[in-house]
Amino acid sequence: MALVVQKYGGSSVADAERIRRVAERIVETKKQGNDVVVVVSAMGDTTDELLDLANQVCPAPPPREMDMLLTAGERISNALVAMAIHSLGAQARSFTGSQAGVITTGIHGNAKIIDVTPGRLRDALDEGVIVLVAGFQGVSQDSKDVTTLGRGGSDTTAVALAAALKADVCEIYTDVDGIFTADPRIVPNAHHLDQVSFEEMLEMAACGAKVLMLRCVEYARRYNVPIRVRSSYSDNPGTLVIGSMEDIPVEDAILTGVAHDRSEAKVTVVGIPDVPGYAAKVFRAVADADINIDMVLQNISKVEDGKTDITFTCPRDNGPAAVQKLSSLQGEIGFTGVLYDDHIGKVSLVGAGMKSHPGVTAKFCETLASVGVNIDLISTSEIRISVLVKDTDLDKAVAALHEAFGLGGDKDAIVYAGTGR
Amino acid sequence: MALVVQKYGGSSVADAERIRRVAERIVETKKQGNDVVVVVSAMGDTTDELLDLANQVCPAPPPREMDMLLTAGERISNALVAMAIHSLGAQARSFTGSQAGVITTGIHGNAKIIDVTPGRLRDALDEGVIVLVAGFQGVSQDSKDVTTLGRGGSDTTAVALAAALKADVCEIYTDVDGIFTADPRIVPNAHHLDQVSFEEMLEMAACGAKVLMLRCVEYARRYNVPIRVRSSYSDNPGTLVIGSMEDIPVEDAILTGVAHDRSEAKVTVVGIPDVPGYAAKVFRAVADADINIDMVLQNISKVEDGKTDITFTCPRDNGPAAVQKLSSLQGEIGFTGVLYDDHIGKVSLVGAGMKSHPGVTAKFCETLASVGVNIDLISTSEIRISVLVKDTDLDKAVAALHEAFGLGGDKDAIVYAGTGR
């Protein structure tokens, strides 16, 4: 008998009809002889509706109360799924994050899981009951207040429960059939991947593949929890994320896929004194504004004036704040000016096969040149090449790289309707 | 400095605008130098919407999950009120029933409060924070599951917190200005009562006065918590429910008012053997079906056949179940048949003054006779007379009794719009 953790996103439980379908799938898994733990996100638009109400009563709601408010959404969806399971003749019991023993840091809105003490879940499983856990939420270790885990929190809850309960697999149900070599909406013959290593999945997620959140994959890798990404609209097996890249024989190592990301903006700080310590001042300023930096480029110093430029990318949502923070320190740091560009996109090629195949970078750049796409900035890791291009060139770049590296499958990928997560 | 507990019903927080008004009143109370604890019901139609969703996914939802579902409503409204208070510049912190230490029995949907351990509330008050508590909910002592208190549960939460925190007063905000000598919608010159004893309020509530639930008054009486019933739409002082009837000097004891109740049905069991133990069998059957009986009448035995009839009233919602249960036992108990009538109403006159004024019952019956209202059944207590009449005669009976016993005020009562609780 296996222990299976399943996670369903908000679009999978958007209304009573879909909740009943999810319940059928859960009961089917139980009937196959498995112990089943299920994490459900809030129904469809619930979170947006609650956010809207909050903004109507308070322009800047206190984060503690925001967490108290938003966690009601998962409580509702989990109780409803439990009821739907009950009406199919099986037994189910729903638990809040706190009841499930999801213990977190105290940072409201973006708490981190410190520990999971799933005693009540274990007891319920031992009774043969299907266990439901409200995702995205926990209880802070110090204040015992309700916390939320931030974006992708329900996926992380599922993986954390799977780790704590030593589950055999954590199934993440979404609106696509798993991981593809590229976004099937851009590359119609994108190839479905049956299995991906944790490292490759981490790079894909970090480069904009939205199917799994980075945090959730990091957690799964750390605790070695196999993740199966599946569609809640089909019975296809999806993609299994498992194992280390190190375990893949060199001759089997391939390229995983082409990821893209439209969510970043580019900031260029112009005319910085090319003296040790000045770049650090720039990045300290951005870090103090709580903004994550992704790619970085420092131009070669212009010898004649002893000044240089620094370019970096950050989430587009934080772009204006980064510019504001830097501008406020212009006199102190002593640079000439700040440029801002949010008409950019990032395209990345990921795969363990890159390590053993020389010339990938050259072919990458040649391919983009051949379709007239200009490269703004390059960054690489052992198993990844990422470049920044104009946002209007992004689709073209993805399609050309996918084709050039022979990633296409035999048949077109099926794209499911749905809101995604 | 006083400690004030305030409770606001669902119509008082039905939308963002009303939530902001409630927040203003709470902050005003705090600014007057009081410690403030607030219990808020779920917003307007939230509970009905959640019930509707539950019925869509499961015809008979398990009570444990129903409680998990419904308690989300209070969580939402309390967090929103906390945010609205925050935006007025005051500090507020919301707590679930469980966090507030509301410990209950394990009967989902109708749990009873066993104990209140308000340590976290006390700490927050000591910090000068306004405390919000989700009403209607608690945590079961044995299973640690989320429970709800049933109808009027938020009022009971407020009174229980007031008792545990030794509050100076528990203010129940509603859509009327307090307690009147009759329902102002039926009797326009109904008189506002400034003060009522616990016993009188208990009788009024038991007889259908909907402003306060019976359970809440019972709790307040047991722990001697003064209740002030006020309108959330005015600054009028409302009605203070305080003190024992025994403390009222005989010469000051008056009649409290006329209450009415349209929620009952009448069941008559015909042709029962007039032998000891047969009436007990009837009431045991009804009790086994978990149905509360209100009024009871056993007719004088017809000597010729040694048989008698028993009539009782019960909540109209339970009427069909009572009839079904009795009919199923017809052979076993050995009666002739069961009659059912839900076109009835109950009118009651309540007041400590009844004890010292003989002839009240006579005048009561004469008054109804004079307006052509037939009495079906009479029941009395030390400070109450109740009779069953045809439902179509109910308004006439209320108005006539109110007039005959001189309960009218000088000016007409103001009736506020609102859904009530």
CA distance B14 to chain A (A): 11
Which residues, given as ranges, of chain A have pLDDT below 70?
A: 250-253, 301-304, 409-421
B87 touches chain A (CB under 8 A): yes
Phi first, then psi: give them for residue A131, nearest 5 degrees: -100, 130
Report pLDDT for A374.
93
> Which chain A positions have a beta carbon within 8 Å of B106's beta carbon?
none
Coil, strand, or helix at residue A3?
Answer: strand
Q: Do B57 and A144 touch (CB under 8 A)?
A: no
Report pLDDT for A409.
65
> Searching chain A, which residue's CA lies closest to the CA of residue B14?
A53
- Classify strands A227-231 and A257-261 as parallel, antiparallel or unpaired: unpaired
Q: Which of B24, B53, B68, B108 to mutate to test the interface with A (most CBs of A within 10 A)?
A: B68
A354 in Cβ contact with A269 (< 8 Å):
no
> Which chain A positions have a beta carbon within 8 Å of B68's beta carbon?
75, 78-79, 82, 94, 96
pLDDT digits (tens, 9 = 90+) for B88-147: 999 999 999 999 999 999 999 999 999 999 999 999 999 999 999 999 999 999 999 999
A24 touches chain B (CB under 8 A): no
Coil, strand, or helix at residue A141?
Answer: coil
Kindly provide the ipTM of the predicted complex, given to two decimals. 0.82
The rounded distance, in Å, linking the Cα atoms of A71 and A50 is: 10
pLDDT digits (tens, 9 = 90+) for B258-280: 999 999 999 999 999 888 888 88
Q: Which of A20, A27, A46, A65 to mutate to test the interface with B (most CBs of B within 10 A)?
A: A65
* Domain regions of chain A by residue span: 3-250
A69 touches chain B (CB under 8 A): yes
- C-alpha distances (whole Å) from B170 to each of A285, B7, B151 are 52, 8, 18
Q: Is 0.90 surpassed by the pTM of this model?
A: no
Q: Do A65 and B144 touch (CB under 8 A)?
A: no
HSE-up of A16 (CA within 13 Å, CB side)? 13
pLDDT digits (tens, 9 = 90+) for B138-167: 999 999 999 999 878 999 999 999 999 999
Report pLDDT for B410.
57
Report pLDDT for B350.
93
pLDDT digits (tens, 9 = 90+) for B396-417: 999 999 999 988 865 454 444 3
Helix (H) or strand (E) holding A348, with range, is strand A344-350
The rounded distance, in Å, linking the Cα atoms of B121 and B114 is: 18
Helix (H) or strand (E) holding B39, with range, is strand B35-40
Report pLDDT for B356.
73
CA distance B359 to chain A (A): 57
b/e code B323-347 from CB counts within 10 Å (16+ = b): bebbeebeeebebeebeebeebbbb
A156 in Cβ contact with A218 (< 8 Å):
no
pLDDT digits (tens, 9 = 90+) for B343-400: 999 999 998 888 777 788 899 999 999 999 999 889 888 889 999 999 999 999 999 9
Least confident of A368-382, B8-22, B243-257, B260-274: B243-257
Is 50 exceeded by the pLDDT of residue B219? yes
Which pLDDT band holds residue B246 (cuts at 50, 70, 90)? confident
Which pLDDT band holds residue B207 (cuts at 50, 70, 90)? confident
Average pLDDT, chain B: 90
Which amino acid belongs to residue B353? G
A96 in Cβ contact with A71 (< 8 Å):
yes
Question: Percent of chain B at pLDDT above 90?
Answer: 71
Question: Percent of chain B at pLDDT above 70?
Answer: 95
Q: Do A76 and B56 touch (CB under 8 A)?
A: no
> Which chain B positions have a beta carbon within 8 Å of A75's beta carbon?
68-69, 71-72, 75
The rounded distance, in Å, linking the Cα atoms of A398 and A384 is: 14
Burial class (CB in 10 A: 0-12, 13-18, 19+), A196: buried
Which pLDDT band holds residue B418 (cuts at 50, 70, 90)? very low
Q: Do B69 and A75 touch (CB under 8 A)?
A: yes
Q: Do A84 and B16 touch (CB under 8 A)?
A: no
Report pLDDT for B359.
85
Q: Which CATH architecture has domain A3-250?
A: 3-Layer(aba) Sandwich (3.40)
